[in-house]
Amino acid sequence: MVIQASGSAVPYAYNTTETMAAHHLRQRDILLAHPEVKQLFGYEWKTKYLTVGLVAANLAIAAGVGLHSAAIPYWASFLVTYLIGTPINHALIMVIHECSHNLCAATKAGNRAVALFANVPLGVWGGESFLRYHPDHHSYLGVLGRDLDVPTPIEIGFVGGSMLKKLIWRAGYLLMYGLRPTPSFWDMRRDAPRTAWEKFNVVFHLVFGVAFGRAFGWQSVAYLCMCTVFSFGFHPCAAHFSQDHVPMSKLGPHNKEGYPQETFSYYGWLNPIILNVGYHNEHHDIAKVPWTRLPQLRRMAPEFHNGLQFHTTFWGGLFGFLLRRDVGPQTRIVRTMEQYKVGMKKYTAGVRAVAKGEAASTKME
């Protein structure tokens, strides 16, 4: 599928596949081989207390930056923003991600409340919208116009083959992520009106931002916003945005069904800081497992993940993505909705066949 930009073909195309994502199949196989994995299901009660600490810490830093901005050198402000504030805000973004899977509280309303609170220091109000859109990333992984994690034709057309534009695109990834739900940015995406929670999210954070800025100085708000920009942009904590679903080497089918690998885990020292989002294959295989138990999931079912390609450093997600001309936003593996439906029919038929086989085996016994 060649992407058109300004009436001419860009020499970069989506990496298309005729199959559905392998995660549905692997989830079935993992649970059949290791039913004990279900013991890992459920929310992590510690996350909400971690959230309170992170929010309090970055608001305190922001207040200090705002109140003493005249006395703080620019280089010191940058170091505090990049080395302290950005990891905190990135962790809060991952908390919101956990809430989208209902893994921070026992109820859906509780998860929404945690997400709303985690959104406070981010400077933008996308938390509740993320809760609405993110489930599609799992259910419709790589489906054009449905999975908002997939770069749009506009983004691919902008980057083209330019390394400079790729750097600009990667640094401004927060803006790209925010624009994708809009129908004018990707006309394949079915639009939906904002929910009451989303509207409250917007009003609450606008009021909070104005009040915080008036109380501690607008530099405090600028600090929080820059922490979030770096959390999506050119920062070690944000490297996974270029690793999670971007093939960086030629891949063949990794299982007997011929499914390509389109998710890549990161097993490095940053994982505790980024709330184990590096365990991305494990997360996509079984999204009911909270971040604290993802390493345990890998240990319980190693045969399903040890044979997959993975990253051991965040440098590949930053510099490798930027410097290689054969890697970019267009290298995401995608499928059309029609291809997805065909794949789901085959998957459903396979599940039924397995169920019938188990039933027949039980009767014989």
Classify strands 15-16 and 265-266 as parallel, antiparallel or unpaired: unpaired
Q: Name residues whose C-beta falls within 8 Å of residue 304's C-beta, 6 or more positions apart in sequence.
A: 26, 29, 30, 33, 285
**Higher model confidence: residue 240 or residue 360?**
240
d(CA 112, CA 47): 13
Position 1 pLDDT exceeds 80: no
pLDDT tens-digit map of 322-350 = 888 888 888 889 998 988 988 888 777 76
d(CA 231, CA 306): 29
pLDDT of amino acid 348: 78
pLDDT of amino acid 257: 59
pLDDT tens-digit map of 227-242 = 999 999 999 999 999 9
Position 362 pLDDT exceeds 50: no
**Higher model confidence: residue 194 or residue 107?**
107
Average predicted confidence (pLDDT) for the chain: 87
pTM: 0.90
pLDDT of amino acid 355: 56
Domain spans in the chain, listed from the N-terminal domain onward: 2-337
30-34, 160-164, 216-220, 356-360, range with the lowest pLDDT: 356-360
pLDDT tens-digit map of 243-291 = 999 988 765 445 555 678 999 999 999 999 999 999 999 999 999 999 9
d(CA 255, CA 276): 25
Classify strands 8-13 and 2-5 as parallel, antiparallel or unpaired: antiparallel
Position 188 pLDDT exceeds 60: no
